[in-house]
Amino acid sequence: MPADGMEVENIPGKNMPVESVLAALVEASPDGMLLVMSNGEIKFANGAASALFGYDDGGLNGVLVETLMPVQVRVDHVDRRNGYLAAPASRPMDTGLELYAQRADESLVPVEISLSPIVIDGDRCTIATVRDVSERRTTAAKLALLSERERIARDIHDMVIQRLFAAGMQLQAVAGIAEPPTVADRMSGVVDELDDTIRELRMAIFHLGIPDAEQSLANHVAAVVDGRRQQLGFVPNLVIVGDIDGIPDFVGEQLIATVTEALSNVARHANATEAGVHVSLVDGALQLTVSDNGSGISGAPKPNGGLSNIVWRATELGGSCTVEAGSPSGTVIAWNVPV
């Protein structure tokens, strides 16, 4: 190799100037690379940088580097940039902080940035290497979420469920010697409520372990309906019309709670042999109908019972709920809320 420089051979098949090789390497980099002058002006950006920030090729040339940052940090960054030029060094930018870049369409993208000083024609410049870390951040967030779900599931199982089970056992023992009989019946009803709560908590634990891709609202409704198999002695018929997975989470949560409460009422009071759950999303209206062929209901729902909770949920969401006798028997709950 000559002492005064580097010679690259056979690219491709003949000598190529070093400048051309370096330019090709920079352009081939999967990371965005910016050459920033001392005044903050971008002198050069490779294709990856243009794509990352949403500009056409060459569109970043002449743009101030602060333009690529969220609005709230632009003013402060001028001082930080000058501070870096006063003591330049090759290093990551703001180690330990989550950095975001602003694209041409004003959307933000999480990035990692490395800085390297370089002097060009006497001007102290900076090479900024920018990497999109959206996928990595998403993966890390999913892992953190799964870890938190596991912790919550353990706490629910080891603490909450065990305490509820112990309380139910104590109530059941006391109910056997309670007088008068109405007190024993009331205590038995509380034990049944505790059993239902334990089942629902176990169902919640089960869903904590389901990946988000599989934990759609439709799947959740189906799991709740199927989960009442043992309690009812049969599986209710489920029909879902429309794409309910896109409704807001707070509406979906109330839908799940309503289906759970309605089927629990069927199991406790209806003596039914068949039940149906019909969910539909049509023209911005979420409609739920739960019907059974049981003994039916007489009068209005109790003010502190499960059916009154169902009516309350619909009202809170700006909707309505009716509880009527079925034909020829049973009960029909019609729950409607706007989405």
Tens-level pLDDT at each residue, the chain (339 residues): 344 443 444 444 456 676 777 778 888 889 999 999 999 999 999 999 999 999 998 899 999 999 999 988 898 889 999 999 999 999 998 776 778 999 999 888 899 999 999 999 889 999 999 999 888 877 777 777 777 777 777 777 777 777 888 888 888 788 777 777 777 778 877 887 787 777 777 766 666 665 555 568 888 898 888 888 878 889 899 999 999 988 988 899 899 989 988 998 898 888 999 999 999 999 889 999 999 999 887 665 555 556 788 988 899 899 999 999 888 899 999 999 998
Distance CA 282, CA 264 (A): 26
SS3 call for 281: strand
The number of CA neighbours under 13 Å toward the Cβ of 263 is: 32
Bridging pattern class, strands 42-45 and 237-241: unpaired
Q: Six-digit token pair at 162?
A: 């065990």
- In whole angstroms, give the CA distance from residue 14 to residue 177: 100
- Checking DSSP bridges between strand 91-92 and strand 123-132, what pairing results, if any? unpaired
Name the DSSP letter for residue 301: P
pTM of the model: 0.44
Helix (H, G, I), strand (E, B) or coil at 79: helix
Instruction: Answer whether 140's CB lies under 8 Å from 130's CB.
Output: no
User: In angstroms, rounded to a whole number, what is the distance separating the alpha carbons of residues 72 and 64?
Assistant: 15
Give 91's strand partners.
Answer: 115
Instruction: Provide the 3-class DSSP secondary structure of residue 321.
Output: strand
Residues, the chain, total?
A: 339
d(CA 334, CA 270): 17
Burial class (CB in 10 A: 0-12, 13-18, 19+), 269: middle
**CA 35/CA 120 separation, integer angstroms:** 10
Would you give the distance in Å from CA 115 to the centre of its chain? Answer: 34
